[in-house]
Amino acid sequence: MEVIIEIPNGEVLDGHIPQSKMKLLQAWVELHQDELIADWDLTVSGRNPTKLIH
């Protein structure tokens, strides 16, 4: 299963995962939102994002 979500609001853009997994994903995104946004900024500027391990 795969899902693509928008950060920071968590809106599902494509795909589907079970609701229980979605709740875990949304909680993880909320905890790591700053890191995810920083990595996105690196990516769009042509640099490699950092690896998130949590």
Q: Is residue 32 part of a domain?
A: yes
Asked if residue 50 belongs to a domain, the reply is no
Q: Phi-psi region for residue 51, left (φ > 0), alpha (ψ -120 to 50) or beta?
A: beta
Give the model's pLDDT for residue 15.
96
- Residues 2-41 have pLDDT tens digits of 999 988 788 899 999 999 999 999 899 989 999 999 998 9
Which band of pLDDT confidence, cut at 50, 70 and 90, is reported for residue 51?
confident
- Is there a domain that residue 54 lies in? no
Say how many domains are in the chain. 1
Question: What is the predicted pLDDT for the residue at 11?
Answer: 87
This prediction's pTM: 0.74
State how far the Cα of 3 lies from the Cα of 53, in Å rounded to an integer: 19
**What residues make up the domain containing 28?**
2-44
